[in-house]
Amino acid sequence: MSIDKTSATPGAPEDHVVENPEAAKAAVTVVDPRLLVRERGLAGYVTEFKRKVKSGDLGSIPVVIGLVIIWAIFTSLNSNFLTAGNLSDMSVAMVGTGMIAVGIVFVLLLGEIDLSVGSVSGVAGASFAVLNVTNGMNEWLAFVLAILTGTVAGVLHGFFFAKIGVPAFAVTLAGLLFWNGFMLQILGDNGTINLDPDGVVAQLTSYYFSDVAAAYGLAAVVTAGYFLSSFLGNRRREAAGVPSRPLSETIVRTVLLAVLAFTVAIVFNQYKGLPLAVVIFIAVLLVTDFVLRRTSYGRKVFALGGSVEASRRAGINVELVRISVFAISGTFAAVGGLFIASKIAAANQGAGGGDLLMNAIAAAVIGGTSLFGGRGRTWNALLGVLVIVSIQYGLALEGIASPVQYMITGGVLLATVVIDAVTRRTQKTAGRA
Amino acid sequence: MVHVSATPVLALRGVSKRFGAVQALTDVELEVHAGEVVALVGDNGAGKSTLVKTIAGVHPIDEGVIEWDGRSVQINKPHDAQNLGIATVYQDLALCDNIDVVGNLYLGREIRKRGVLDEVEMERRSRELLDTLSIRIPSVRIPIASLSGGQRQTVAIARSMLGEPKLVILDEPTAALGVEQTAQVLDLVERLRERGHAVILISHNMADVKAVADKVAVLRLGRNNGVFEVKSTSQEEIISAITGATDNAVTRRAARTNGEGSK
C-alpha cells in the first residue's frame, strides 16, 4: 500500500482537523507501525508472505505440503505411482468426486452442509440411464434432464431450509434417504443399466485429446490468460492510484504457473493425451472461482457466510441466495454423478453410496474450505480431491484393501481439521480470525 | 462551523406509537437541522430506540406528522427512509467479519462493470471516502475481523455515508468502545456535522453528549421531557430531566432517610 496517505496513530485525531490538509499530509511522514505497508518489489512480496504465515493465514500451504509428502511416500513404496499412466488415470478418476466437492464448497461458504449430494449424484446417473437407455430418449436431452434432476433436488432442499427454516443438516439428511430410495425405485428390478460405451456420458471420462498440441495449447492459453488478466488488472489499479502488485511478482507467479501447467501437459501427453474430463473440471473451477470472487452473487454468498444479519440489512435477499446455493450444490452433485457413471459406463444400485459423500465433503475441507462458513475457494476442491484420490490409488497399488483406505482418509481429514482449528486459533491471537 | 438552516431537515410533530397495550411514544416532537448534532437521551425504556425505528421506517408511526425538508412525508418501510436520505447505523454492527473493508462498504450496492465487480473503482472510492472522513485503518483490503472495535464502528459509519444521506442516525455508537476508540468515533461525528449532515446521536454517556452534541432531546416514558442547548445546560440538569427532575434515585434516598430521620 502507498505510504503517502498514512499517518500517525489514531490517538491524536484532533491534529487532523486542520485548515490546510496538504501541509498536514506533508508534515505527517512517520508511518504507523501497525499499518500494513508493503514494500515494493519481490522483497516486499516475501515479507508479506512471511507475515501472513506467522499470523496463521496459511491458505493452501498445508495441503500442498501434505500432497507432496503423500506422493513421496507412495513413490518410495511403488515406483509405478509417479508414472504418466497412473497420474493420468488419477486425474480422470478425481473429476466425479471433485465436481461434487465444488458444490459442497458453495454450501460450506454459507456455513451449512449438504448431506444429500451422494444420493443426488446417484439419481442423476440413474435418470440418464433410464431416460436414454431404457426409454430411448435423445442422449443430449437425457443428459440435460439428468443434471436438472440435481438442480430440482437442490431447490427443494433449499426451499425447506430457507423458507421453512428446517436446519440444512436435517433437510439434506432426509434428502440422502429419499433420493437414494428414488434412485433404487427408477432403476427397477434389474439393478444395473449399462450405458452406450460410445455415448456422450461414457465419453466424458473415456475421451482424450490425443494430439499433443491440445495439452500444450491449453497450458499456454491458461498461462497467457493468467498473465494478461493480472497484468491488465495491475495497470488499471496503477492508473486508478490504488496499490498494485509489482510486475516482478506477476512474472514470478506466471512462471510458476507455466511450470506447473506444462509439467501436467507433458505428463498427459506421455500417456493418452489431454483427458476431456480434466478440461471440463478446470473450466468449471475457473468459472465458479470467477463467480464467487468477481460477481456480486459471489459476494452475497460470502456475506451470508460472514453474517446473515448484516447481509439482510445490506438488502441481500437471504432466502433466494440460500436456495440458489443448494441448487448449485445439487446441480454439481448431478454433474459429478454423471462423471462417476461414465467411469463404469453403467448406472447401478450402489451409485452414490459408500464413501462418496464423505469423500466429497472431505475434499472440500482438506482443500482448505472452512467448516464455519465464509472462507474458501472452489480450487480447494481440486487440491482436496487430489489428496483423496492419491491415497486411494497409492493404497490400491500396494494392494491394501478399502478398510485401511477409509482409516487413512479419516486420519488425513482429522489432520486437516486439526490444522484448520490450530490456524484459526493463531489467526485469533493475531487478530485476523 | 455550525450552519443551522431555518427549515429542519427532519421534524416530528406529535408522533405517537402504540404496541398493543403499551403506549411507547406520546406526542413526541423533534427537530434536526442540517449541520447539527442532536443527542437523544433517556433512561432505558424511555422510547429512544422506538423513536429511531419510526424514523428509520422499521415501525411506522400511529399518529402525528413526519416532515422532511418542510414537507410532510410517509415513512412506512426502511426503504422509504433510505430514499429520503436517512442512514441508520445500529448498535450491533452490520458488518461481515470475513469480508474486507472495501467489500463491506459496498455490500449490497457493489459497483459493477459489465456484470463484474469493479474492485478497482470500489477500492479507489473507499480510500477517498475514508480519507475525507480522516478514518485510518491498516489497509482497506484486510478482513473486518482484523480491525479494533472503534475501527469497525468508523467503517460502519463510513458505510452509511456512501448514499450521501442528509440525516445520519447513530444508535449508541460508543457503547462498547474504549476511551481511545470512543474519541475516534466522536471525531467522526464532528466531521459529519462539518460536512453538513444532520446527525441524531443516541447515547447513555453524558460526557459523549456534552462533547459533540449541539442540542439534547430528552425522552422520558415516551414523552418529550425537554430540549436543551448543550452549551448553556449543565450535566445535572440533563440528568434530572432524564430521571424526572424531582424523582430520581438520589432524591428518593434523600427523602427516605429524611423521613426516617424525622421519625
Cβ separation of B117 and A313 shorter than 8 Å? no
pLDDT, greater one: B21 or A107:
A107
Which residues from chain A sit within 8 angstroms of residue B187, using beta carbons? 13-14, 17
Question: Among partner residues A16, A240, A306, which is closest to B124 by beta-carbon distance?
Answer: A240
Which segment of A34-38, A301-305, B149-153 scores lowest on mean pLDDT?
A: A34-38
DSSP conformation letters of A363-390: HHHHTT--TTSS---THHHHHHHHHHHH
| Average pLDDT of the segment spanning A205-223 | 93
pLDDT, greater one: B205 or A120:
A120
B115 has a pLDDT exceeding 70:
yes
| Average pLDDT of the segment spanning B81-86 | 88
Angle at A360 (CA atoms; ends A148, A306), nearest 5 degrees:
85
Kind and range of the H or E run holding B122: helix B119-132
Burial B30-65 (b: 16+ CB within 10 A, else e): bbbbbbbbbbbbbbeebbbbbbbbbbbbbbebeebe
Which residues from chain A sit within 8 angstroms of residue B123, using beta carbons? 237, 240, 242
pLDDT classification of B245: cutoffs 50, 70, 90: low
Question: Among partner residues B95, B115, B131, which is closest to A295 by beta-carbon distance?
Answer: B115
SS3 content of chain B, % helix, strand, coil (to 5): 35, 25, 35
Q: Which of A47-61, B61-75, B150-164 holds the top average pLDDT?
A: B61-75
A144 has a pLDDT exceeding 90:
yes
Cell of B49: 430506540
CA distance to partner chain A, nearest, from residue B78 (Å): 10
Q: Are A271 and A84 in contact (CB under 8 A)?
A: yes
Which segment of A3-12, A100-109, B198-207 scores lowest on mean pLDDT?
A: A3-12
For residue A350, the model assigns a pLDDT of 87
Burial A216-238 (b: 16+ CB within 10 A, else e): bebbeebbeebbeebeeebeebe
CA distance to partner chain A, nearest, from residue B227 (Å): 29
A397 has a pLDDT exceeding 80:
yes
Global ipTM: 0.80
Which segment of A36-40, B148-152, B200-204 scores lowest on mean pLDDT?
A: A36-40
pLDDT classification of A218: cutoffs 50, 70, 90: very high
A177 has a pLDDT exceeding 90:
yes
For residue A13, the model assigns a pLDDT of 40
Cβ separation of A309 and B146 shorter than 8 Å? no
Interface residue A303 vs chain B (CB under 8 A): yes
The residue of chain A nearest to residue B107, with distances taken between CA atoms, is A314
The residue of chain B nearest to residue A310, with distances taken between CA atoms, is B94
Interface residue A296 vs chain B (CB under 8 A): yes
What is the value of pTM for the model shown? 0.84
- CB pairs below 8 Å between A and B: how many? 108
Stretch 16-45 of chain A: residues touching chain B, C-beta under 8 Å: 16-17, 32, 34-36
CA distance to partner chain A, nearest, from residue B258 (Å): 48
| Average pLDDT of the segment spanning A226-254 | 88
Cell of A152: 430440482
Q: Which of A274-283, A360-369, A421-430 holds the top average pLDDT?
A: A274-283
Percent of chain A with pLDDT over 90: 59
For residue A194, the model assigns a pLDDT of 92
For residue B181, the model assigns a pLDDT of 79
CA distance to partner chain B, nearest, from residue A214 (Å): 30
Cβ separation of B120 and A315 shorter than 8 Å? no
For residue A15, the model assigns a pLDDT of 40
For residue A8, the model assigns a pLDDT of 39
For residue A23, the model assigns a pLDDT of 44
Which segment of A65-74, A280-289, B125-134 scores lowest on mean pLDDT?
A: B125-134
The residue of chain B nearest to residue A242, with distances taken between CA atoms, is B124
Cβ separation of A233 and B190 shorter than 8 Å? no
A2 has a pLDDT exceeding 60:
no
Percent of chain A with pLDDT over 70: 86
Give tens-digit pLDDT for B116-140.
999 999 999 999 888 888 888 888 8
Cβ separation of A242 and B127 shorter than 8 Å? yes
| Average pLDDT of the segment spanning A191-197 | 90
pLDDT, greater one: B23 or B261:
B23
| Average pLDDT of the segment spanning B242-251 | 63
CA torsion sign, A229 to A230 to A236 to A237? positive
For residue B242, the model assigns a pLDDT of 84
Give tens-digit pLDDT for B171-188.
888 887 778 778 888 988
| Average pLDDT of the segment spanning A184-192 | 87
CA distance to partner chain B, nearest, from residue A4 (Å): 12
Beta bridge partners of B117: B112
The residue of chain A nearest to residue B148, with distances taken between CA atoms, is A431
Mean residue pLDDT across chain A? 85
**How far is Cα A107 from Cα A430, in angstroms, rounded to an integer?**
28
Cβ separation of B180 and A11 shorter than 8 Å? yes
pLDDT classification of A7: cutoffs 50, 70, 90: very low
**How far is Cα B175 from Cα B111, in angstroms, rounded to an integer?**
32
pLDDT classification of B248: cutoffs 50, 70, 90: low
Which residues from chain A sit within 8 angstroms of residue B152, using beta carbons? none
For residue A29, the model assigns a pLDDT of 34
Interface residue B115 vs chain A (CB under 8 A): yes
A73 has a pLDDT exceeding 60:
yes
| Average pLDDT of the segment spanning B256-262 | 55
Which residues from chain B sit within 8 angstroms of residue A375, using beta carbons? 98
The residue of chain B nearest to residue A314, with distances taken between CA atoms, is B108
Which residues from chain A sit within 8 angstroms of residue B110, using beta carbons? 296, 299
Question: Among partner residues A14, A32, A306, which is closest to B96 by beta-carbon distance?
Answer: A306
pLDDT classification of A24: cutoffs 50, 70, 90: very low
Which residues from chain B sit within 8 angstroms of residue A299, using beta carbons? 99, 103, 107, 110, 117
pLDDT classification of A190: cutoffs 50, 70, 90: confident
